[in-house]
Structure 1
Amino acid sequence: MIVRRLDEVAAVDWGNGLSRRFLVEADGMGYSMTDTTVRAGTTSPLEYRRHLEACYCISGTGEVVDADGTSHTIEPGTLYALDQHDAHFLIAGPDEDLRLVCVFTPALHGSERHSLDSSEFSHY
């Protein structure tokens, strides 16, 4: 059994926020689970070529915009899933950090970071 508390998990600064990676590849579960904070007022171009991801919002507001420009509001109680390795923009609202619980499959190694300034989209 694996039991971890938020205050025991190291935070990885991924560029526009922090990712607390509760489960990683070395845990042998086949998926990762993170508690991710996206800093208020930031826009993150993202695309996961090796991972599928589902995110559930627990606080804050924002939007996820797909590659064709369709915007979806994110607020507490909203889940979005990137089931096609979708390129997207994650935008946190201006007044409060966006907080998400995210699941990645296959599992993250644990130290991955986005490169938000090197190209249009940051790739894992």
Structure 2
Amino acid sequence: MIVRDFNEAKNTERRVDSDGWNSVRLLLAGDNMGFSFHITTIYADTELHFHYKNHLESVYCVAGEGSIEDVATGEVHEIRPGVMYALNKNDKHILRGKTEMTMACVFNPPVTGNEVHRADGSYASADEVAAASA
């Protein structure tokens, strides 16, 4: 059994800070669950361009308001508490925080811990992470 306290984890190396967001990674690849689980804060008045080419992601909004735009279609969906979205086709998207948003996120395959978005909006694949560590 794995038990972690968000309030403790947010003050450790499990917290990753980047431009426009921070993420507390409660489950990582090393936990051998087959997915990673994060509580991510998207800052107010932020526009983030992401494209998870190597990962699938599901996100549930716990607090705050914003929107997500599907870059391929131009369709925009409002985000508010209770709304979930899943990037089931490695969808290129733009996430906009109207207010600060708290999001519960699941990644498959799991991230290893310190990933930040590359210039193209993606995280490195597990193979790229392993090669860089070798």
1:70-121 CA-partner distances (Å, limit 9, x unpaired): 100000000000000000000000xx31110000001001110014xx4xx4
1:11-59: per-residue Cα shift (whole Å, max 9, x none)? 1013211000000000000100000000000000001011100000000
2:6 aligned with 1:2 = no
Q: 1:46 aligns with which of 47, 50, 57?
A: 50
Pick from 81, 87, 90 the counterpart of residue 82 of structure 1.
87
1:123 counterpart = 2:128: no
| More helix as a share of residues | 2
* Greater C-alpha Rg: 2
Q: What is the number of residues matched between the two proteins?
A: 118
Structure 1 runs of 4+ off > 4 angstroms?
Answer: none
What's 2:77 paired with?
Answer: 72
Structure 1: any 5+ residue segments left out of the alignment? none
> TM-score, normalized by length of structure 2?
0.85
Aligned partner of residue 30 in structure 2, secondary structure: helix
| Aligned counterparts of 2:36 and 2:58: Cα–Cα separation in 1 | 11
Pair 1:100-2:103 in alignment:
yes
1:17 aligns with 2:21: yes
Secondary structure at the aligned position of 1:8 is classed as helix
Write the distance in 1 (CA, Å) between the matches of 2:19 and 2:117.
Answer: 6
Q: Distance in 1 between matches of 2:92 and 2:18?
A: 17
Q: Given the two structures, how large is their TM-score scaled by the length of structure 1?
A: 0.91
Shift of 1:7: 1.8
Amino acid at match of 2:96: I
**More moved, 64-73 vs 9-18:** 9-18
